[in-house]
Amino acid sequence: MVCGPLWAQEPLKNPAPVYRPVQLYLLGGAGPASYRGDLAPSYQKWGGLFGLALKFNRHRWVNPVVDFSFGRVSGQNPDFPARLPLDLQPAEGTPNRFFSSTLVNASFGLHFNLLKTERYQLYLSQSLGFTRFSPRDDRGNPLADQLNTRAFDETLPTTGLILPTGLGGAYFFPNGFGLGAEVGWLNPRTDYLDNLGQLGNPEAPRDNVLRLRVNAFAPLKFQNPDEDKQRQERRAQRRQQLEEQLKAEKAAQAAEEKKAKAASQTKAKSKVKGKSKKKTNYWFMA
């Protein structure tokens, strides 16, 4: 048995990891959330939001997402509305200076992929959904029942439209699991998260919620290469059938046009022949 020197032998190479393409993900995430509005001119006080989502991961550039989240935000301004200019201070009612509200959100959105590889994803998200909220005072009592905290005949809506926007990214392992993070805003279309509507500060920014979320990705369904191949074959067959149908229609149309042209030529020849016969008869009569 002949053996070469150890340093002449090639080192063993680890095989490259094989990534299984995932068609459907389950996302679970949590992170801080902060309110900005009449009782907080900037994002200062932090609560939390927890969420679950389904992400359809088949397409390259755009992926639909169904998202559910819930949590709590709060705000406080002990000097409100005393520090407002006299012309902006409410003429009636006693606005609340503190609120704490639970949020329950449901939305459908799209992830627009800026980068999508087997390992990495970077995306912009835009969604449309609804939120349900219930602001309470510092004693935990519902502010909806405290009519003196709002203007006369002003009611407190507890649902509203949201337009969540965000920027996120994720890293994926060969087994399909992944970790990611996202930052964004809920963008509620209601200004009553803090119970302050007509009695709020008209110069304050509109109520909004900043959220930071860390997500865990779990694969629910892997893509089947055979299914993808069959799908591509069916698409190719349908495309070929459409092309053949278009060719047949064009051929039939060309045949009809040729037939109509031949008929018109025959009719024209018969007219010319009839005229020549009439001329010949006139010559004999003369």
Which CATH number belongs to the domain containing residue 49 in this structure?
2.40.160.20
Asked whether residue 9 is assigned to any structural domain, the reply reads no
Asked whether residue 7 is assigned to any structural domain, the reply reads no
Is the domain of 228 the same as that of 170? no
Stated pTM of the model: 0.74
Can you tell me whether residue 43 is helix, strand or coil? coil
Among residues 208, 223, 238, which one ends one of the domains? Answer: 223
Residue that is written with structure tokens 């803090």 in the block? 194
- Split into its structural domains, the chain has a count of 2
Name residue 53's beta-bridge partners.
27, 67
**How is residue 188 annotated by DSSP?**
B
Is the domain of 159 the same as that of 258? no
Among residues 223, 244, 271, which one ends one of the domains? Answer: 223
Neighbours of 154 (CB within 10 A): 14
Q: Which residues contact 258 (CB under 8 A, 6 or more apart)?
A: none
Is the domain of 280 the same as that of 266? yes
Name residue 109's beta-bridge partners.
65, 127
Report how far residue 190's alpha carbon sits from residue 185's, in angstroms, rounded to the nearest whole number: 14
Asked whether residue 135 is assigned to any structural domain, the reply reads yes
Is the domain of 168 the same as that of 266? no
- Report mean pLDDT in 10-residue bins for the chain, 286 residues: 53 71 95 95 93 95 97 92 60 84 97 95 98 95 91 90 98 95 97 90 90 97 76 82 88 85 76 59 48
Give the per-residue pLDDT at 92: 65
Is the domain of 28 the same as that of 97? yes
Asked whether residue 173 is assigned to any structural domain, the reply reads yes
- Answer for the pair 215, 183: CB distance below 8 angstroms, yes or no: no
Can you tell me whether residue 117 is helix, strand or coil? coil
Asked whether residue 240 is assigned to any structural domain, the reply reads yes
Is the domain of 162 the same as that of 228? no
Asked whether residue 120 is assigned to any structural domain, the reply reads yes
Report how far residue 173's alpha carbon sits from residue 221's, in angstroms, rounded to the nearest whole number: 15
Please report, for residues 22, 29, 163, 185, 223, the alpha-carbon distance to residue 53 in angstroms, rounded to integers and kept in the order given: 15, 9, 16, 17, 19
In this structure, what are the phi and psi dihedrals at residue 231, rounded to the nearest 5 degrees? Answer: -65, -45
Is the domain of 117 the same as that of 31? yes
Give the per-residue pLDDT at 128: 98
- Answer for the pair 53, 166: CB distance below 8 angstroms, yes or no: no
Is the domain of 126 the same as that of 237? no
Give the per-residue pLDDT at 264: 78
DSSP 51-107: EEEEEE--SSSEEEEEEEEEEEEEEE-TTTTTTS-GGGS-SSS---SEEEEEEEEEE
Residue that is written with structure tokens 């025959």 in the block? 266
What is the sign of the dihedral through the CA atoms of 173, 179, 185 and 186? positive
Give the per-residue pLDDT at 75: 95
Is the domain of 110 the same as that of 238? no
Among residues 223, 238, 256, which one ends one of the domains? Answer: 223
| Containing structural domain, residue 255 | 224-286
Is the domain of 182 the same as that of 103? yes
Is the domain of 46 the same as that of 118? yes
Asked whether residue 3 is assigned to any structural domain, the reply reads no
Asked whether residue 151 is assigned to any structural domain, the reply reads yes
Give the per-residue pLDDT at 252: 87
Is the domain of 50 the same as that of 176? yes
